[in-house]
Structure 1
């Protein structure tokens, strides 16, 4: 498929518009998993701006792209992850959770999305049925009423003890069915809070909506999960808090950033200065100024959305960024064209070097074929020829050799023994010599004995 330059530019503009809205209004210190690749932990131990905790010496496992709140084994485990900063935003905001639940055929467990006051946040991880009195909102995902799964919403102002209620399921202000277990892919729950309503969406479909709920600012977000004796493993892959307001990109902690207003003023002055320079450049181009395109910025620095107040400044900033993207796409297209021409040239050179088979190569092939035919003939001769006569001749030759060896070997051994045996004269000489030596020795012994001194008692 070939994409024209105009198509590439359209795609780049669409991607830029989407990514700009997404990146500008995601509250980074209340979100994780929003970056490219879904990375949530730089060191596989903790998540920036969040606290991960468990119960009874169990700590949820933090991976590079997910958090395992409850393990596949053993059961009866609880884990949670809580934002360390509150939401300082009134009006339109959205909380998005991507999770997955896997387990055995009859596994059980539940998942909660919390938005509660600071006094209830960061406490021991609990479920709806074991939580103390809390002030805020909780969405519960479990197998309520045996429908294969459901999503329900509960509100509390701190006066209702849900764990002691005889039938806490009747306190839900909204619910819908959702088969969330062992799906093979992630489930997405979106909680959207606007000025006049609160809506919960599950996998792109509306779950429930009400215009009687208004959540205050300054509360904390958290996600907790618990498993039963037959456990369900809950994995959280993404949790994103975003807003459609252009007031701020990241919601700062008011106590942590006391000089935020001064910082915003500096950013505003810098943006206004950049806008004036851009406007001056556009006017020069409009009235035929000799200024060339060298004044077009190659890169635009990142600024907070709160520093851009007017629509004119927003348009100028967006125009600069789109123009930079357009130039980059044009450069990439030109580079692709150059690579295509280079590959075309290399292919033509390679095809020119490939020549037909000449006579010498044909003669070599004929010689090889001749050798193959000769080899096949020899193989056929060896397979068809009878070697019985040849084997009989070899057998007779071996027998003749054996008979000749049997006849000649005793004679040869007798001749060797006869030629080397001792003669009778030699034997007699040796016997006489031995007799003389023994007699001489006896005579010498007698003389020495007679000449020895004698003792008389």
Structure 2
């Protein structure tokens, strides 16, 4: 039987938590596994990526890998949110080099898988809804900013999308070594964004209609940041829409009983120890296998690890009867058996995942080898063909040049020889008469001079007659 103080604490915790219900079809990461064992998909969610689809592990989704850079990844809910009052809880982690870059975007938009895809706030066009961006805007150490769009503003073509933010706060999110939590609360009175249980910003002028889809996208730069998402949990205060489950499956009562057992006497400790064991066995029968218990504290909704539900240690002198000793030994052996089964399942799962990854890598290497071989052979054949065509063209060009040179040489010889023959005939024809005439002119001239001289002498020597 619980004491009045423990009952008051339990009632106060339930009143503080209010009536919140988990929306299963819009949530992942609230159980021990994100995807069912043996499957590489998230139930009710779709994965997108460019150039590669995000890597899905048992407890997280790696949207952008540590290498190489310039990667994009996204996870989108297949169903829309039918509620007006809701709480969205996202756990993520960002790791990268000292000057790494990238951004994480949390969306609640209409038809986000088609209108947004794997884009970010800087590459998306027109969208209708809310976007929460985590990046190093303006060279800061980290910042969270909120954006709204009614479908009329094209963010990709806008000259400065950073000026469109309606709220922001500083948040150093890189290389923390732990997941960071972002919680969004939407009600009829206001919209609130909290970071690691601290208020980031809020507004009483935002009303988001129902029918939008939740999604998370990430983009890495040339020096990449690796963005990992551990959970997206959506809560509402109405269990009449969709598949919901109450988050009030807490273990506050068991914790109170355990604390009370430590303060009571030996007989009461034994009785309540038996009651706790019975409650644990009943809880294991009611809940499905591999499911933790949902709790809601300062850090939001979490899932208890099955390895944390161990039987508390007890002092040997408290076990006085053989029945109590047998029950304690039975419970501890059963707990060890459960832990060994969980370990064997984990090892088997790791082995199967390793074999699957090995097969995928071998297949990818074979395809890559075949692709490289095919491309190399094709390129070599094309190169040989081009070289053969070039050699043929060079030979043809050489033959054409030789023929042209021969024709030109023959033509020049023909024209020169013909011209020489014509010139010879012309010279022979006009040269002979010219010499004879010259000789005759010279001889005739000499004769005339001689005749004149003789006539002059005779006239000079003849007697003069005077009248």
Asked if the contact 1:44/1:62 (under 8 Å) is kept, the reply is no
The 5 Å alignment of 1:241-390 reads 241-248=234-241, 250=243, 340-342=319-321
**Are 1:46 and 2:41 matched, yes or no?**
yes
> What does residue range 25-104 of structure 1 map to in structure 2 within 5 Å?
25-35=21-31, 37=32, 39-56=34-51, 58-90=52-84, 92-104=85-97
Question: Cα deviation per residue 1:230-261 (whole Å; 9 max; x = unaligned)?
Answer: 00000000100001234446269xxxxxxxxx
Closer/same/farther in 2, CA of residues 78 and 7 from structure 1, 3 Å limit: farther
Residues 289-334 of structure 1, C-alpha deviations (whole Å, 9 max, x = no match)? xxxxxxxxx98999xxxxxxxxxxxxxxxxxxxxxxxxxxxxx99x
Counterpart CA distance in 2 for 1:77 and 1:173 is 28
- CA gap 1:215/1:107 in 2 versus in 1, 3 angstroms: same
Query: Which residues in structure 2 correspond to 1:148-163 (within 5 Å)?
Result: 148-163=141-156
Match of 2:319, SS state, is: helix
Displacement of 1:118 in angstroms is 1.7
> For structure 2, which runs of at least 5 residues remain unmatched after alignment?
246-280, 287-310, 326-467
SS in 1 for 2:120: coil
CA contact 1:88–1:251 (8 Å) conserved in 2:
no
Residues 28/344 of structure 1: CA separation in 2 closer, same or farther (3 Å cut): closer
Residue 34 of structure 1, CA deviation:
1.3
Instruction: Please tell me whether residue 209 in structure 1 is matched to residue 202 in structure 2.
Output: yes
8 Å CA contact 1:55–1:124 kept in 2: the answer is no
What is the aligned partner in structure 1 of residue 181 from structure 2? Answer: 188
The question of whether the paired residues in 1 share the 8 Å contact of 2:105 and 2:131 is answered with: yes
**How far apart, CA to CA, are the structure 2 residues paired with 1:340 and 1:251?**
43
CA contact (8 A) 2:82 2:241 kept: no
* Preserved CA contact (<8 Å) 1:51 1:122: no
| Distance change >3 Å, CA 162–CA 21, structure 1 → 2 | same
Root-mean-square deviation (CA), in Å? 4.0
Matched, 1:239 2:232: yes
Would the alpha carbon gap of residues 227 and 19 (structure 1) be closer, same or farther in structure 2, given more than 3 Å must change? farther
**Does residue 125 in structure 1 map to residue 104 in structure 2?**
no
Contact 2:29 2:233 (8 Å CA) reproduced: yes
Q: Secondary structure in 1 aligned to 2:141?
A: coil
Distance 1:213 1:337, change over 3 A: farther
In structure 1, distance between residues paired with 2:74 and 2:15: 30
Instruction: Please give the TM-score of this superposition, normalised by the length of structure 2.
Output: 0.51
Query: In 2, distance between residues paired with 1:74 and 1:52?
Result: 19
Q: Secondary structure at the match of 1:145?
A: helix
Query: Residues 105 and 212 from structure 1, CA distance in 2 versus in 1: closer, same or farther, beyond 3 angstroms?
Result: same
Q: Which runs of 5+ in 1 are unaligned?
A: 253-297, 303-331, 347-457
CA contact (8 A) 1:38 1:238 kept: no
CA deviations 1:61-91 (Å, max 9, x no partner) are 111110000000111100000000001112x
Q: 1:179 maps to which residue?
A: 172
Contact 1:109 1:226 in 2 (8 A): yes
Greater strand content:
2
Closer/same/farther in 2, CA of residues 128 and 119 from structure 1, 3 Å limit: closer
Distance change (3 Å), C-alpha of 1:181 and 1:19:
farther
DSSP-derived class of the 2:64 partner: coil
Of the structure 1 ranges 41-50 and 69-78, higher mean CA displacement relative to structure 2 is found in 41-50
- Quote how far apart the aligned CAs of 1:11 are: 8.6
Change (3 A) 1:7 1:123: same
Tell me if structure 2 keeps the 8 A contact 1:26–1:249. no
How far apart are the structure 2 equivalents of 1:127 and 1:25?
30
Aligned residue number for residue 224 of structure 1 = 217
The TM-score normalised by the length of structure 1 is 0.52
1:120/1:83 Cα in 2 relative to 1: closer, same or farther (>3 Å)? closer
